[in-house]
Structure 1
Amino acid sequence: MGIHQHRFKNFYVYGAIAPESGKNLFMVAPKMTTEVFQRFLEQFAAKHMDTFNVLVVDNSATHHAKELVIPANVALVFQPAYAPEVNPAERVWQALKTGLAWRCFESIEALQERVVELLKGWEDDMLRSLTAYPYIMAALNALSS
């Protein structure tokens, strides 16, 4: 009798979407660590240097790490525990899963390639339609008036 270990391969998709426009930034990474999240934040901050930006994030330990340096033009808002419905990005991840459903991939690399194709193929209007929750749009409109 031998020992059997279940092993799996994975990757992570980091993403930020502006609900009012659908403008976005996605980054695929081999792991979820504070260092990788830091790199994502830096890329995001550099892309949006002229604005102050609020990112809604879950309560992953990587989002709370003491060594994390939040860029000056970014604020993190932590969603309540067990409440993914308040984070509009959850609808994006669901749409991504729908685009991958009922497909078999030869390798993790083939799956990752398809994920990147889907993300790059999405129009800003489609992402806006997924993330422009009425309460978010009302808050943004109140801020701009």
Structure 2
Amino acid sequence: MDEVSLRYPNDRIVLALDGAGWHRSHTLKLPHNLCLLMLLPYSPELNPIENFWDALRKESFHNCAFDSLDALENHLEAAMRDMEKDRECVQSIVAWPWVINSLMK
């Protein structure tokens, strides 16, 4: 979370978390520009990152085979860096109206 906060110091960052028990802490200190949005348990369809992964798979992994796990990881990192550069595309995938509206309360 610190790395993401430092990479985007002028942005307000929303991190959606599912209901997993390990996503809870009473001692966690959030960076100033990051807030958590707790989703209902057992509802992956509510998590915007699921659509991000779908888009990433379609865009960067269609008909790909890798010689090793390292090759897969390198390809994933490069694909994520490429997608990160297209801010409008990422926002169109993850910035659902109900997510944005939940932050305005």
Equivalenced residues, count? 100
Q: Is the 8 A contact 1:54 1:77 kept in 2?
A: yes
> Which runs of 5 or more structure 2 residues have no equivalent in the other structure?
none
**Structure number with higher relative contact order (C-alpha < 8 Å, ≥ 6 residues apart):** 1
**Structure 1 SS opposite 2:93:** helix
Query: Identity of counterpart residues, as a percentage?
Result: 21
Pair 1:95-2:58 in alignment: no
- C-alpha RMSD of matched pairs (Å): 2.7
Counterpart position of 2:71 = 110
TM-score, with structure 1 as normaliser: 0.55
Question: Where is the helix percentage greater, Structure 1 or Structure 2?
Answer: 2
Question: How far did residue 91 of structure 1 move?
Answer: 0.6
Counterpart position of 1:83 = 43
Counterpart position of 1:126 = 89
- From the superposition, tell whether residues 110 and 69 of structure 1 become closer, same or farther in structure 2 (CA, over 3 Å): same
Question: Where is the strand percentage greater, Structure 1 or Structure 2?
Answer: 1
> Which runs of 5 or more structure 1 residues have no equivalent in the other structure?
1-40
The code of the aligned residue for 1:135 comes to W
- From the superposition, tell whether residues 50 and 134 of structure 1 become closer, same or farther in structure 2 (CA, over 3 Å): closer
Distance 1:54 1:47 in 2: 14
